[in-house]
Structure 1
Amino acid sequence: MQSLDYRVVEQAIEWMKNHRTVWMCTVLSTFGSSPREPGSLMVACADGEHLGSLSGGCVEEDFLDRLVTGEYDLPTVIVRYGSPGEGAGNARIHLPCGGILEVLVERMPFSPENLEHLEQIRNALSGEKALTRCVRLTDGKNWLDEAEPNGSRVIREHGSEQIRIRVGPVARLVLAGYSTVAEACASFAINLGYQVVLCDPREEVTRNISLPAGVEFRSLLPSLFIASEGVCTSSTAVIAVTHDPRIDDLAMMAAVKTPASYIGVMGSVRTSEARSERLRASGGLSAAEIARIHMPIGLNLGSKTPSEIALAIMADIVRVRRGRDLAEL
C-alpha cells in the first residue's frame, strides 16, 4: 500500500517528465481542526489538474482557482487560509472553528535538477531512511540533508527564510501475534494512517479472526517477518501484545536488531522484569538493546479494557514518533 504523499510525488515526477511545470504544496502548520497534518502534500498543474489534498473542499477549490488564473508565479509563497487580509499570502477562506492553515507553494518548472529532487523525495518515502527537505523562501532553491527519524515534520525557525521538512518512509505498525488488544491497536493505527501488518502462525488462534479493513495478515512467526530485509525502518513500530512468551520474546529479540523507532511488549511491571532477565540470559540481549523495549508498553492511563489498553499503546507510539518526552505530557 502506497501513501497518498508517495502517490503525489510520483504524479509530480510523471508530469515533470512531460516537461510540465508543477506546483508542490506542503502543509506547514494547522491551528484548529484539520484532516491533514503538517508535511502533507498536494501537487497541481497550471490547468488545475491535481492530486492530494491540503484540508478538503473549499481550500483546494480556492487554491486551484487562483492557480489557473496565474496567481502563483513566484518560486515560493506561503498561503494562509483563515487569516485576515488580502493577496496571494492570505486566501479569503474561513476555516471551521476559527482555524488557520499555512501552506508552502513551490513553483517547480521542468529542469533536470527539479526532477532529480522529486525522485530523491520519492526514494526517501519508499526507502529506509528519513531525509530533511530544505527550501529557501527567497529564491525557491531546494536540497536534501540528513534527518532525525522522529520529531516535528516541519521546522521553521522564527525569522528564518528556510523551511525544513522531514520526509521518510510511511509509518508502519507490525503486530507480533493476534489478541483482542492487537485488533484494537490495528483499528487505531489504520485511522492514524499507518500501514499495519499482523503476523501470527497459530492457526487455532487466527482461524476465525476478522481484522479491520486495510490490515495485512501473514501466517508466519512474527520474528521471521520482523527480521526480513526492509520490513522495519525508522518509521516502524513493533509491538507484541499476546502474553505468549514464544511469540513476544522472539519478536523483541528480532526487533532490537532493526532500526524500528518504537518496540514494545505488553505485561505488568513484574512480568516485564522477568522478561528482561530472560532476554538477557537466554536471548543474549545487551542492556542497551533491552533498554530500547518499552515494557510495560504504553502510557499509564489506568487502562482496563482492550480498547483502553490499545489507546494507551498507540498514544505512546505517537508520542515517540513526534519526539515528545513523557515529562512534556
Structure 2
Amino acid sequence: MEDLDTQVLRTALSWQAAGLPVVLITVARTWGSSPRPPGSLMAINCRGETVGSVSGGCIEDDLIQRIQTGGIEAVCASERPGLLRYGISADEAHRFGLPCGGTIELVLEPVSARSRLAELLLACQQRRSTERVLDLQTGAVELRPGRRDGLPQLDAHQLSSCLGPQARLVVIGAGDLSRFLCQMALGLGFEVIVCDPREEQRASWQLDGVQLSREMPDDLILRLRPDARTAVVAVTHDPKLDDLALLEALQSEAFYVGAIGSRRNSELRRERLRTHFDLPEAALQALHGPAGLYIGSKTPAEIALSIMAEVVAVKNGLQQPAPTPVQAGKSQQDSTGAPTVTPVTQTATTASSCAF
C-alpha cells in the first residue's frame, strides 16, 4: 500500500493527464492546535474530488465549495499559487473545526508541467529525499536533493518543503506473527518486505502488497542498505537467520531494529553479537529486544500490535517519558504483579510530509 503523500501525487498526476484542472494544497504553517501537521498534502480537482487532507473535513468542504462555485480560479487567481488562512478568529476556528482556536495556513497551487510532480513521485519511489521549492510568483518548481524531514519554510517569495521515501518495514521470517505485522504495516502506509529462505515457510505465505524474498536475510539487508526510513524486525527465533541480519541492520541507517524473544533469549542474542561479531556497544544498545511496547500481549496479533506501536513511536520521534518497552514492562510485572505503564506523551508537532 502506498503512503498518503504518494497517493496524493499519483492521483493529482492522473487527474492532470485526464485533462482535469487540479489544485495541490500544502499545509505551510500552523499555530496552536491543528488537525494535520505542516507539510501535509491534499489535491482537489475541478469536480470537487479530493485525495489527502488538511483538516478533519470542514476546511476540505469549504475548499470544495469554493472550487465548485468559482472554479480553480477561486483559489488560485491568474493560475499562480495562492495563500489561504483558516481559524484566525474564534468564530472561524469553531466553523472550520479547528481545536483550541488553532490557525492553519495553506499554499494552493494549480498543477501544471511546472509542478514537476512526475519527477517528484519518481524520486520518492527511488527512495531519494527531495527538497521542493515553489516560486509563489510564477508557480515554477525547483527540485534538489534535500533533507528527509523538517518543517516547510514559507516566505513572501517561495515555499520550500521536503518529501522523503515511503517508510519501509523489513520482516525476517514468514509466519503467523509476520502476517499480522505486515497487515498492520500496510494499513499504516509502509512498504513491506518479508524475507525467509525456508521453502516450507514460504510455501503457504502470501499477502497482497508484500514483497516476499527467498534470499538469506543478511544478503537482503546488504542489498537493501536500509536508510533512515527503514525498520527491520526479526521474528524467526532462529539465530542462524536472525543474528546476521540484525548484525548488518544495526550497522545501517535503519531507524528501528528489533527482534522477538524472551528477555533471556534477548540477552543471549546481545551476548552473541558482542562476543562473536565484535559489535560495538552503541549498536547493541540500539537493538529493541524483546521488540515491542508492553501491552500484556499474548496472541500473535497482539504481539504484532505491540511491535508496530513501538516502530511507529520511534518513527515519530517520541521523547521521554517514553512508552514502556516489553522488557521493562515485564520486569515491573514480575516485581509488583501488575505493570506500571508510563503514559505516552508526544512532543509538539515538527513533522512534515516526509517526517518520521
TM-score normalised by L of structure 2: 0.68
Instruction: Report how far residue 44 of structure 1 moved.
Output: 4.0
User: 2:74 maps to what in 1?
Assistant: 71
User: 1:188 maps to what in 2?
Assistant: 184
Instruction: Report how far residue 165 of structure 1 moved.
Output: 4.5
User: 2:321 maps to what in 1?
Assistant: 327
User: 2:199 maps to what in 1?
Assistant: 203
Matches within 5 A, 1:1-329: 2-10=2-10, 23-27=23-27, 39-44=39-44, 47-48=46-47, 52-54=51-53, 60=60, 62-68=62-68, 69=70, 70-73=73-76, 75-80=81-86, 85=91, 102=104, 104-108=106-110, 114-115=114-115, 118=117, 121-131=120-130, 146-147=146-147, 154=151, 165-209=161-205, 211=207, 213-229=208-224, 232-328=226-322, 329=344
* Structure 1 residues 186 and 14, CA gap change in structure 2 (3 angstroms): closer
Is the contact between residue 195 and residue 217 of structure 2 (CA under 8 Å) also seen in structure 1? yes
> What RMSD, in angstroms, separates the aligned Cα atoms of the two structures?
4.2
Q: Distance in 1 between matches of 2:298 and 2:153?
A: 40
Aligned residues: 313
2:82 counterpart letter in structure 1: T
Q: Distance in 2 between matches of 1:137 and 1:322?
A: 30
Q: Distance in 1 between matches of 2:135 and 2:310?
A: 34
Instruction: Report how far residue 237 of structure 1 moved.
Output: 0.8
Q: Distance in 2 between matches of 1:76 and 1:133?
A: 17
More displaced stretch, 237-246 vs 21-30:
21-30
Instruction: Report how far residue 61 of structure 1 moved.
Output: 5.2
Q: Distance in 1 between matches of 2:309 and 2:7?
A: 27
More displaced stretch, 6-15 vs 243-252:
6-15
Is the contact between residue 168 and residue 231 of structure 2 (CA under 8 Å) also seen in structure 1? yes
Is the contact between residue 27 and residue 107 of structure 2 (CA under 8 Å) also seen in structure 1? no
2:193 counterpart letter in structure 1: V
Instruction: Report how far residue 181 of structure 1 moved.
Output: 2.2
Percent sequence identity over matched residues?
Answer: 34
Is the contact between residue 2 and residue 190 of structure 2 (CA under 8 Å) also seen in structure 1? no
Q: Distance in 2 between matches of 1:199 and 1:171?
A: 17
Instruction: Report how far residue 168 of structure 1 moved.
Output: 0.6
Higher RCO (CA-CA < 8 Å; seq separation 6+): 2
Is the contact between residue 4 and residue 52 of structure 2 (CA under 8 Å) also seen in structure 1? no
Ranges in structure 2 where 5+ consecutive residues have no aligned partner: 323-343, 345-356
